[in-house]
Structure 1
Amino acid sequence: MQNNLLECNDPAHDIWKGQRHPLDCIFHPRSVAVIGASEREGSVGRTLLWNLIRSPFGGTVFPVNPQRHSILGIKSYPDIANVPEVVDLVVIATPAATVPQVIRECVAVGVKGAIIVSAGFKEVGEAGAVLEREILTEARRGGMRIIGPNCLGLMNPLVGLNATFAGAIARAGNVAFISQSGALCTSILDWSLGENVGFSAFVSIGSMLDVGWGDLIEYLGDDPHTHSIVLYMESIGNAHAFLSAAREVAMDKPIIVLKVGHTEAAAKAAASHTGALTGSDEVLNAAFRRCGVLRVHTISDLFDMAEILAKQPRPKGNRLSIVTNAGGPGAIATDALISGGGTLSALAPETLTELDRILPAQWSHHNPIDILGDASCDRYAQTLEVVANDQNSDGLLVILTPQAMTDPTQTAEKLKAYSQLGKPILSSWMGGQEVAAGTQILNQANIPTFPYPDTAVRLFNYMWRYSYNLRGIYETPSLPADSDLFTPDRHLVEQILAKAIKSDRTLLTEHEAKQILAAYGFPTIATEIAKSDLEAVEIADRFGYPVVLKLHSEIITHKTDVGGVRLNLADAADVSRAFAQIKSKVNSIDPAAFLGVTVQPMFKMEGYELIFGSSLDPQFGAVMLFGTGGQLVEVFQDRSLALPPLNTTLARRMMEQTRIYQALQGIRGRKAINMAKLEQLLVNFSQLIVEQPQIREIDINPLLVSPEGMIALDARIMLHTKSSFADRPLPAIRPYPTKYVQHWESRKGDRLNIRPIRPEDEPLMVQFHQNLSEESVYLRYAHRVKLNKRIAHERLTRICFIDYDREMILVADHKTDAKNLQNSEHEILAVARLSKLHGTNEAEFALIVSDRYQNQGLGTELLTRLLEIGKEEKLEAIVGYILNSNYKMQSICRKLGFKLLPDAIEGRLKAIFNLNELCGLMEATVNGK
């Protein structure tokens, strides 16, 4: 049996050719109505209408105004119902109080897109917020999409659409610009016309009542005319939608954001270290890193980076080679480079030898490469030729200062040949009119040119950080050999949490917290509870001295603050005395807080104190913290933040952002700690956070690490109250969907694990493709696809590193020796994919089964599970495309309730499963299979 379908996101064919995206009615309308059109000079309504008719977009414009029969010589209509054609887009410029009724009337006649430029909504208070809720209710009822309110409008310069009240339409280009500030839009527009910068879209997004960042990033990501997306952001809105869309698009198109303002710290009054340290702006930076978005800090950088990334490749690292004809600018560039985290490349021996051959003896003999003030254009070109081939360099900066023997124009002409080196090349032609011609030559040759070298270096630092973050997202993480042998003891954790919740407690005891950590693979020190001094002595005698006593309380947050910790207790007398002191101190504060003490051996190990933490951000949900721990955690403030869940690559990237990271790898004769184990602990910690949403905040401080081992010495966990749990922000990134992990037994009796794919599966996917026959490949992709293309890292990352909100890929995972787990190897036997289609509530499925495992019922099982997932995800329909010759797949689809219809592309069928109509049939089929 050949259970194979076409590649579901294959760019070689357009599955939905001819079907309009919901936002097409806004960006590519066939007709536009201006509601609130006016003849009054200077009014918004008049400007909107005039802009639409003086920049013809190929559609019809209808003024709507009940007071006038014509406006600007065009017939006007009293309301949208009287417009003689179905209108794609309405632009609304009426008072805020009238807009809900206007939207209601538009929905009634089938309008699918609206731009609300009117102000006076939530920005003015609760009365405006009520109006917004009314508008959204009406829009949802009719499937209408809305940009705004309180916005400038939208331009599509490529087709001549100017649905704004700006003074002019933007030039056509390949940069999409989206802004929350209408005033900034007009400033950028004015600047762009002078600088000859062109746009594929120019959008004032306003208050984001409906269409938000995620919608526009997704739409423009699919637009072949858009090469990069730049954002001016004041608030992120739907964080989940933004991250999901940005992560999908960022690998293909740069997304560059200027985010202004610092929001109030997410956990300003939180009791934990983590809650006190995580602020929304830090979290936002972590979110941008996680989805591959580049954050810049000036408007000029916003557009400079769009230009650079369009002209030059991303660097593989942060090593820059600088070629200059003057020492001062080279030093300025070096300072800027090092300050921004970059490094000067170390010139390879063969590079130094070749430079000695071609340069005067007085050249600098190091990087920056000072080729002296009398450098000719040939000397520049010869130097660049040598340095470009140095494998120690990730990028080049060429600096020219106008000197008597230097020709800026001819030098630029010589450098044109080096515009595409496989690594970025930037230039700084310093000066005014004397270098203007050379600057123009370089820019036209796609070598970005800047008047000052520190500006160029700052942008290089942006470039390598951007590249670094993208690699971190799609770098295949390591998978520990014993990963299958470790499963968290979720049942124990749920019991502990349920007991605390039943007692209306929000603070777990240290003993309970350590039990939870141990359940998730953290090494902890043996700890027992003593309710009396005699019991404490008995436990201490059993453990052996010295020991530690800590307050056991369900109320007090930080034990050290109330004298609740006693260290290095050497004998029974010390233990009795410490017990009495802790009890006396706590009773003086709150007698109900003292429930005894915990006793544990005094742990002696030289090492580093780290902190693991998690707290909630109101926009992004749970946020992780890693850094230098101990009692001075707030003083050192050496920390990094990340959004869970993590894999080992992301865990390492999180650690790399801290100063303690270098020490952990071994310095001054000290051995390195087991970094792979520390990475895995961070992964386990992220798993704990996403799997146990009842936890509100958690600190592990300190986690003591050394070359000899790791151990969590103290932990603190706070839970949600019933009300805070109901109102908690959901995770910004959907975690691994463990609920779809299930076992299945084949007709041969083999036990398989059917589960969602994960990033660590890339090597298994390579092996899977190596074992496929040519026939299976043809039936899957409808053409012959060479193995090297199917197993290319760039392709497999798109399959293994998925957003579980956007698609679900199930793999059938088989262990070659299920009886001997230590020696078993994994193999993937089948892959099934369900991908949501942009702009719809539908998804496309595809699946392929390895040749030796066909005719075992696996294809039917996988497709059945995809249908069940589609039903749970509340999809309306699932479609697939099957070659006419794939009779077995057609049979499976018919059996499961699909309708098979002829497709527009010859040689294949379209299989459709309407989940709304056929859920009952699906259940009957599944139950009767």
Structure 2
Amino acid sequence: MQAQTVTNDPAHDFLGTRQPLDAIFAPKSVAVIGASEKKGSVGRTLLWNLISNPFGGTVYPVNPKRNSILGIKAYASLNAIPDPVDLAIIATPAPSVSQVIKDCTYKGVKGAIIISAGFKEIGEQGIALEQEIKAEAQAHNLRIVGPNCLGVMNPHYGLNATFGSAMALPGNVGFISQSGALCTSILDWSFRENVGFSAFVSIGSMLDVNWGDLIDYLGDDPNTHSIVIYMESIGDARSFLSAAREVALTKPIIVIKSGRTSAAAQAAASHTGALAGSDDVLDAAFRRCGVLRVDTIDDLFNLAEILAKQPRPKGNRLTILTNAGGPGVLATDALIRRGGKLAELAPETIQALNDCLPTHWSHGNPIDILGDADPQRYESAIAQVAKDPNSDGLLVILTPQAMTNPTKIAESLSNFSQLQGKPVLASWMGGNSVEQGEKLLNDANIFTLPYPDTAAQVFNLMWRYSYNLQGIYETPILREGRKPDYQQVETIFSQVYRSQRTLLTEYESKQLLNAYHIPTVETRLATSIEEAVNQANAIGYPVVLKLSSETITHKTDVGGVQLNLKNATEVEVAYQQIQNSVSPEHFQGVTVQPMLKLDGYELILGSSLDPQFGPVLLFGTGGSLVEVFQDRALALPPLNTTLARRMMEQTRIYQALQGVRGRTAVDLEALEQLLVQFSQLVVEQPQIKEIDINPLLAQTPEAGGSIALDARVVLHDQVTSDSKPAIRPYPTQYITQWQLKDKTPVTIRPIRPEDEPLIRSFHGTLSEESVYLRYAHLISQAHRITHTRLTRICFIDYDRELALVADHEDASGNHYILGVGRLSQIKGSNQAEFGMLISDHYQGQGLGTKFLQQLINIAKQEELEGIIAYILPENRPMQKICQRLGFTLRKDTEEEMMVAELTLK
């Protein structure tokens, strides 16, 4: 009872369906609206570029005033063209573009490139025009690149749909730029450096086709090995993150983002008509989806090339081998300055180097093999350090000296071009004298750079990229927590809104944290002196009194905190002092708390809204000097335990949390879980605008773990309470309880990254027949349970697909997955494919029918238009289930499969 589908198995591409952007990148016919004979005009250049680089299709100039242009028959309008048109390139004044788009939809055109400027970058009038165009295009499935762009090139296809000066060289780099002017500069640079492209795209102001669409397209393109991006604004953040996260595991995505400084960000916003978000938040977003950010155009293309040639390093430890001390020191400085480390040579490596090097070699890393090193000495030393278990990468430096033979040494190094899990870089210094050696190394896929400090910087970028990817696909540990008290949260928020407030009091804030089982210091509310004394007596002295106010958050600033009160008399005096420190309308009593011994570290944990990415988490050094130290890390929710630990690792305080100078480490596992629960609170309660726990006291397990000492929460106005996370959180609404026919209880729930061990065990319960019916060919169990494959199955983007598992818990508390059902959206459409796989022991128990019913309900809630599946003809049980639930069946003779389809709209 297995349903075949393409998308469920990342290693299996069953269908050869056309991509939705093929009309733009691989058209069979192109119309140029605004084609012209006028020399130097955009319309003439576009037409000339198309006919000068034959792509195998037909070009139709459109100009109502001419019968022919450049010797080609011209048409008065798009509708006058007698044949179908795949792509329309529009180079007419902005006010006329709306009518041209209507002509395109009437004609059935599927792709358009709007070269014209004069849209949202000019203000309200341009924005209104864009919206009119977008509405018309979306209603008729017309995809648009631009407006205000240079156009699109597909060098492998022979398509130059730009007004650039020349066609890019064919290659393996997909280049996307938001700046047309930068495109022309990069194009000129690529000819000098002999860099080729699989696609060359000027994306413009992203009216329709955005970063996510293009990343998806290039991710599927076999000619594209890496994607490089020049970005001014991110646009649809959720689309970008979703596409980048899916593609980054198989193809590097490298971004240079302008606007790091506030002045540059303002200039970029003015240029693109978009608002700039926080640059630090953008860095956090890139880390979350496995994108590598660089600062220079050199780094952009250096990394694209080296990641295509060499493996990613597993860590940040670099071995440097050189024939001169100075360049080794330069490389070391550059390495350490950006977070890399010198690999500590293993004892056996040192002994082996002692045996093959002169007595006066450096006896450490950097390994200085001295200025008279010949090819044999280089080769012997490289052979030893290549085996060193403590190293994650190798940089070989050569400076031309009297006895140096750069070409012969390059030949020796070429023998070590592919080390397992270790990139090899080279810096051949010396200009023309080392040119032949550099060529040999490049031909052997060893990346060469002229300066050793640049090489060290490239290694740092490589390991950071690898580190980001490891964080995404490292299986987190599942620690089942208690369910939040949603009723208590609703009561708190209702009470605040009834009081016409958006600011929670400290007492309410801590109640909110308690509802999500985040530990807080005991806090009692008192509205009179007598009540404050009674509460203090109940808690036990010494105590702390704090102002309870519906309007004041920073209590210390107004004298609203009284510490270390040792008896009732001191409580009475402190209460009166706090009451007198503010006017009556700001005083709603005090909170009474125990005076804790601060035997730990003061941290801050918070969340605020970014205009592009929604809720953003902050973690770092807290306390009253939080703004002074500015030791913090940002991350996008939701978090799991792995992401929580990665967030902590980015701060300087993390070293202290692990234990320093004889102090015991704090309870890091509990702190991880606290961050996970806090992120759950943030994504599940969109009414929250800002929330801070400061200080969050991190202590050892013996001292009680982490505890929130103070908290501040601000809500949205009730009218504006929607703060959508940039990454869709776990869809708890799709969790249901059910029983098999034999009364075995199961929880049918969305899959999660922590399920990888359970899915691995599940594949051990499948027969070859079940596997064949599911995938239309046999896949060995060893291949099915590789970590790389299982991450693609368990670490899903709930915006793109949703997999359900049937989770059974036995009497001993052990969990087993009995089946998996998956719904995957088809790119470029509002339809999805489904597939399912049931353990052999539990087939015939109604689970397949239940899965499909649930997937249909989910598809309806997600507002999909239809569901489709591809089923082997011999898989009759699956076909019968589909028919019972309303699917129609047809035979696809070309693919020799049965196609099951269900229309939902």
Give the shorter-chain TM-score range. Answer: over 0.9
CA contact (8 A) 1:579 1:597 kept: yes
Partner Cα separation in structure 2 for residue 774 and residue 240 of structure 1: 39
**In structure 2, C-alpha distance between the alignment counterparts of 1:604 and 1:522, rounded to whole Å:** 20
287-296 or 442-451: bigger deviation = 442-451
- Equivalent runs, 1:514-525 vs 2, <5 Å: 514-525=510-521
CA contact (8 A) 1:263 1:280 kept: no
> Cα deviation per residue 1:12-55 (whole Å; 9 max; x = unaligned)?
654432x3222110000111111111111111111011000011
Q: Which amino acid aligns with 2:885?
A: L
TM superposition shift of 1:3? 3.8
Within the candidate set 829, 845, 848, 2:818 is matched to 829
- Contact 1:806–1:835 (CA<8 Å) still a contact in 2? yes
1:105 to 2:100 alignment: no
Separation of aligned partners in 2, 1:65 and 1:546:
87
Equivalent in the alignment of 1:891: 880
Within 1, Cα distance between the matches of 2:5 and 2:172? Answer: 31
Q: Counterpart of 1:702?
A: 695
The answer as to whether partners of 1:545 and 1:569 remain within 8 angstroms in 2 is: yes
Whether contact under 8 Å (2:429, 2:451) holds in the other structure is yes
Alpha-carbon distance in structure 1 between the residues aligned to 2:261 and 2:549:
35
Gap change, CA 1:11 and 1:287, over 3 Å in 2: closer
Separation of aligned partners in 2, 1:732 and 1:904: 42
- Specify the SS of the correspondent of 2:415: helix
In the alignment, what sits opposite 1:922?
none
Greater displacement, 299-308 / 526-535: 526-535
* 2:864 counterpart SS class: coil
TM-score (norm 2): 0.97
Partner of 2:279, secondary structure, is helix
Q: Please name the residue that 1:741 is paired with.
A: 735
Q: Does the Cα contact within 8 Å between 1:156 and 1:162 map onto a contact in 2? A: yes
The AA in structure 2 aligned to 1:889 is M
**2:452 is the alignment partner of 1:458:** no
Contact 2:33 2:91 in 1 (8 A): yes
The question of 1:573 aligning with 2:569 is answered: yes
Indicate the percent of aligned positions where both proteins have the same amino acid: 66
C-alpha distance 127-886 of structure 1, shift in aligned 2 (>3 A): same
Partner residue in 2 for 1:544: 540
Q: Aligned pair in 2 of structure 1 residues 7, 214: CA closer, same or farther (>3 Å)?
A: closer
Per-residue Cα deviation, 1:603-661 (whole angstroms, up to 9, x for no partner): 12411001100000000000000000000000010000000000000000000000000
Q: Is the 8 A contact 1:264 1:280 kept in 2?
A: no
Match of 2:269 in 1: none
Q: Does 1:798 align with 2:796?
A: no
- CA-to-partner distance for each residue in 1:121-144, whole Å, 9 max, x for gaps? 111111111111121122122211
Unaligned runs of 5+ in 1: 269-277, 818-822, 917-929
**C-alpha distance 194-685 of structure 1, shift in aligned 2 (>3 A):** same
Alignment partner of 1:472 is 2:471: yes
Normalising by structure 1, report the TM-score. 0.94
- The answer for the alignment partner of 2:903 in structure 1 is 914
Tell me the CA shift for residue 787 of structure 1.
1.4
SS, match of residue 103 in structure 1: helix
For residues 55-94 of structure 1, the aligned pairs below 5 Å read 55-94=53-92
Aligned to 1:436: 435
Report deviation, 1:778: 2.4
1:492 aligns with 2:505: no
Instruction: State how 1:731-770 maps to structure 2 within 5 Å.
Output: 731-770=725-764
Q: Secondary structure at the match of 1:592?
A: helix
Q: In structure 2, what is the Cα distance between the partners aligned to 1:92 and 1:533?
A: 76
Matches within 5 A, 1:682-701: 682-701=675-694
Conserved 8 A contact 1:6-1:779: no
Alpha-carbon separation, structure 1, partners of 2:516 and 2:682: 10
- Asked if 1:623 corresponds to 2:616, the answer is yes
Query: Who is 2:112 aligned against?
Result: 114
* Alpha-carbon offset, residue 264 of structure 1: 5.9
Match of 2:648, SS state, is helix
Q: Which residue number in structure 1 is paired with residue 606 of structure 2?
A: 613
Q: Secondary structure at the match of 1:85?
A: coil
**Which residue pairs with 2:853 in the alignment?**
864
Provide the rounded CA distance (Å) in 1 between the counterparts of 2:179 and 2:875: 54
**Separation in structure 2 between the aligned mates of residue 762 and residue 13 of structure 1, nearest angstrom:** 20
Look up the SS of the partner of 2:208 in the other structure. Answer: coil
Offset of residue 890 of structure 1: 1.4
Distance of 2:861 and 2:720 partners within structure 1: 26
Give distance in 2, aligned partners of 1:569 and 1:21: 71
Structure 2 residue matching 1:315: 3-state secondary structure: coil
Equivalence for 1:370: 368
* SS of residue paired to 1:418: coil
Partner of 2:558: 562
Partner Cα distance (1:798, 1:905) in 2: 29
Match of 1:923 in 2: none
- The answer to whether the 8 A contact 1:618-1:729 is kept is no
SS in 1 for 2:370: coil
Contact 1:488 1:521 survives alignment (8 Å): yes
Is 1:532 equivalent to 2:528 in the alignment?
yes
Q: 1:406 is paired with a residue of what secondary structure?
A: coil
The amino acid across from 1:46 in the alignment is R
- Tell me if the contact between 1:348 and 1:390 (Cα under 8 Å) persists in the aligned partners: yes
- 1:858 counterpart letter in structure 2: L
SS at match of 2:511: helix
The structure-2 alpha-carbon separation of the partners of 1:512 and 1:339, relative to structure 1 and needing over 3 Å to count, comes to same
Q: Displacement of 1:776 after TM fit? A: 2.0
Corresponding residue pairs, total: 891
Greater Cα offset, 69-78 or 243-252: 69-78
Distance change (3 Å), C-alpha of 1:14 and 1:827? closer
Q: Secondary structure at the match of 1:458?
A: helix
User: Which residue, 600, 603, 616 being the options, matches 2:596?
Assistant: 603
Distance 1:7 1:279, change over 3 A: closer
Aligned to 2:272: none
Tell me the residue number matched to 1:781: 775
Aligned mates of 1:768, 1:9 — CA distance in 2: 16
User: Aligned ranges for residues 123-522 of structure 1 at < 5 Å?
Assistant: 123-262=121-260, 280-422=278-420, 423-480=422-479, 483=480, 486-522=482-518
| Structure 1 contact 36–65 (Cα < 8 Å) conserved | yes
Cα pair 1:816 1:824 within 8 Å, conserved: yes
Separation of aligned partners in 2, 1:137 and 1:888: 43
Pairwise CA distance, 1:417:
1.1
User: 1:786-815: per-residue Cα shift (whole Å, max 9, x none)?
Assistant: 211111111111111000010000001111
- Structure 1's 127 and 626: CA in aligned 2 closer, same or farther, altered over 3 A? same
Change (3 A) 1:42 1:907: closer
Q: Is the 8 A contact 2:424 2:446 kept in 1?
A: yes
Displacement of 1:907 in angstroms is: 5.2
Q: Compute the displacement of 1:279 (Å).
A: 6.9
1:841 paired residue number: 830
How far residue 526 of structure 1 moved from its aligned partner, in angstroms, is: 1.7
Task: Assess, with a 3 A threshold, how the Cα gap between structure 1 residues 36 and 279 changes in structure 2: closer, same or farther.
Answer: closer
Query: Residue in 1 aligned with 2:649?
Result: 656
Deviation at 1:779, TM superposition (A): 2.0
Alpha-carbon separation, structure 2, partners of 1:592 and 1:11: 62
Shift of 1:906: 5.7
- Is the 2:687–2:723 Cα contact (8 Å) retained in structure 1? no
Shift of residue 60 of structure 1? 0.5
Of 600, 610, 626, 1:633 maps to 626
Residues 1:839 and 1:904: Cα distance change in structure 2 (over 3 Å):
farther
Q: Is the 8 A contact 2:277 2:612 kept in 1?
A: no
| Equivalent position SS for 1:167 | coil
Q: Does 1:851 align with 2:840?
A: yes
Does structure 2 conserve the Cα–Cα contact (< 8 Å) formed by 1:227 and 1:310? yes
Residue 620 of structure 1 contacts residue 729 of structure 1 at CA under 8 Å; is this kept in 2? no
Question: How far, CA to CA, are the matches of 2:126 and 2:253 in structure 1?
Answer: 32
Query: What SS does the corresponding residue of 1:864 show, helix, strand or coil?
Result: helix
Question: What is the RMSD computed on CA atoms of the aligned residues?
Answer: 1.5
Structure 2 residues not aligned, in runs of 5+? 267-275
Q: Equivalents in 2 of 1:457, 1:264: separation in Å?
A: 29
